[in-house]
């Protein structure tokens, strides 16, 4: 029924709008296929084993479910189902998250004690997260909106962490990656401490809120907007 209605609706559209509709349904179908593939094993008989399966084990690893979440986020933004999305993983799922070369849990590895082997495993996990974020940005860039710009151009995306060094629980010099949303990019901004003064992360949040269209001049511990971060006029 949905396809019939879409086909009827499409007849009254111009070429540009018809292509947009095709792009949307292709994205939905692609996402549905990935969900179906993930569900194929649900009713499949498990091989006999002498080991008891743990209760409540997540059926998908971090490696498997992360791209699904990002694809769902892309669809939600593309259809204007929401304007704000927050994605965070509290654990890897199945200990190593399905990542080759990772043999310990993320939290354990974050307290690496300067052991190089642990740092190397931690790097695999964090490189995976950055790669998936990059893939998400690519997905947003592929979606062309009616104004001719990409969905990435109108979407502020932020990747970061509450710690710069979990081994010492340090929250100084936080690494943050900002993309899209009409900001001027292609630069690395570094904010060094000046005596006891430091640049609050909330300055970035205030800049984002103002870019979002909110008329606010303060957010939590902000001391102003983020210096050097400019929008495209």
pLDDT digits (tens, 9 = 90+) for 95-147: 557 888 888 888 888 888 888 998 999 899 889 999 999 999 999 999 988 88
pLDDT band at 91 (very low <50, low <70, confident <90, very high): low
Tell me whether residue 40 is in a domain: no
Positive or negative, the CA dihedral 181, 80, 220, 164 is negative
Tell me whether residue 84 is in a domain: yes
- The whole-model pTM stands at 0.72
Tell me whether residue 227 is in a domain: no
The range of the structural domain enclosing residue 22 comes to: 11-35+59-154
> Residue 194, SS3?
strand
The answer to whether residues 58 and 94 touch, using CB atoms and an 8 Å cutoff, is: yes
Tell me whether residue 68 is in a domain: yes
Average pLDDT over all residues of the chain? 83
The answer to whether residues 211 and 231 touch, using CB atoms and an 8 Å cutoff, is: yes
Number of folded domains that form the chain: 1
| pLDDT tops 60 at residue 226 | yes
User: Could you give the residue ranges of the DSSP H alpha helices within 40-175?
Assistant: 62-78, 106-110, 116-142
What percent helix, strand, coil does the chain show, rounded to 5? Answer: 40, 5, 50
- CA distances 217 to 147, 169, 183, 197, 205, Å, are 30, 30, 19, 20, 11
Using alpha carbons, select from 181, 178, 197 the residue that is nearest to residue 189.
178
Question: Using one digit for the tens of pLDDT, what is the confidence trace for 154-177?
Answer: 999 999 988 788 888 888 888 999
Distance CA 228, CA 233 (A): 15
Tell me whether residue 87 is in a domain: yes
């Amino acid at each position: 029924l949905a396809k019939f209605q879409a086909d009827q609706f499409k007849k009254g559209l111009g070429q540009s709008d018809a292509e947009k509709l095709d792009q949307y349904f292709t994205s939905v179908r692609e996402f549905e296929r990935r969900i179906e593939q993930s569900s194929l094993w649900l009713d499949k008989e498990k091989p006999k084993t002498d080991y008891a399966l743990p209760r409540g084990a997540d059926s998908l690893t971090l490696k498997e479910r992360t791209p699904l979440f990002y694809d769902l986020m892309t669809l939600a933004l593309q259809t204007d189902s929401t304007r704000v999305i927050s994605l965070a993983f509290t654990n890897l799922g199945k200990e190593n998250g399905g990542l080759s070369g990772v043999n310990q849990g993320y939290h354990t590895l974050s307290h690496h004690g300067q052991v190089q082997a642990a740092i190397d495993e931690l790097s695999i996990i964090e490189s995976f997260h950055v790669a998936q974020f990059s893939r998400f940005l690519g997905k947003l860039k592929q979606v062309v909106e009616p104004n001719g710009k990409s969905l990435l151009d109108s979407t502020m995306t932020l990747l970061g962490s509450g710690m710069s060094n979990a081994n010492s629980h340090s929250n100084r010099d936080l690494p943050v990656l900002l993309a899209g949303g009409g900001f001027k990019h292609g630069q690395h901004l570094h904010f060094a401490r000046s005596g006891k003064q430091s640049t609050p992360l909330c300055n970035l949040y205030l800049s984002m809120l103002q870019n979002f269209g909110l008329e606010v001049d303060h957010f939590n511990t902000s001391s102003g907007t983020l210096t050097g971060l400019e929008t495209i006029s």
